[in-house]
Amino acid sequence: MAIRSIITDTDPLLHKVCRPVEKFDERLWQLLDDMSDTLAKANGVGLAAPQVGVLRRLFIMNTGDGVKEYINPTILEESGTQECVEGCLSSPGEYGIIHRPQKVKIQAQNRNGKFFIQSLEGLAAECVCHETDHLDGVLFKSKVVRMLSPEELAN
Ligand code: ZN
């Protein structure tokens, strides 16, 4: 296991569309384990593979109940709306107000390639949308209603 460096939003890699994961092998598991260490060290909620420079469709998330892995994710359904104050490990110190679905249903594969479906809401739904956007080269800053000012961040 190792910490990988997180690239920032000026890096062209974060603006590219990622390719599907095809091999569920030790190389993938190493990446997932490294991303888990990296997310913990950064005190983040979610981390997508392109943020560590790997253009593959996977992300991990920890909303407080352990690390969950989502490989080749597809959001099947969205419902409701929530207003969130959102940031990104690739945009350090920057936060904005954004509208996300309140609930999502997501299909993905686990590290062994097995398909699963989950229904998520609140922070987990927000995070899944944010991370899935990363896999399509979309950053939260392109979707914000507005960014928070330094004065608002200080409060
Ligand atoms: Zn992000």
For the entire predicted model, the pTM comes to 0.96
CA of 134 to the centre of ligand 1 (A): 7
Model confidence pLDDT, tens digit, residues 5-25: 999 999 999 999 999 999 999
pLDDT above 80 for 100: yes
CA of 51 to the centre of ligand 1 (A): 8
Residue 128 CA to residue 24 CA, distance in Å, equals 21
CA of 114 to the centre of ligand 1 (A): 25
| Contact by Cβ (8 Å): 147, 77 | no
**Site of tokens 């944010």:** 130
Model confidence pLDDT, tens digit, residues 19-55: 999 999 999 999 999 999 999 999 999 999 999 999 9
The more confidently predicted of residues 154 and 11 is: 11
pLDDT above 80 for 96: yes
CA of 88 to the centre of ligand 1 (A): 4
86 noted as active-site residue: no
Token pair of 49 as six digits: 């593979």
Residue 24 CA to residue 112 CA, distance in Å, equals 6
Q: Which of 69, 86, 126, 131 is catalytic?
A: 131
- Give pLDDT, residue 10: 96
| Contact by Cβ (8 Å): 104, 118 | no
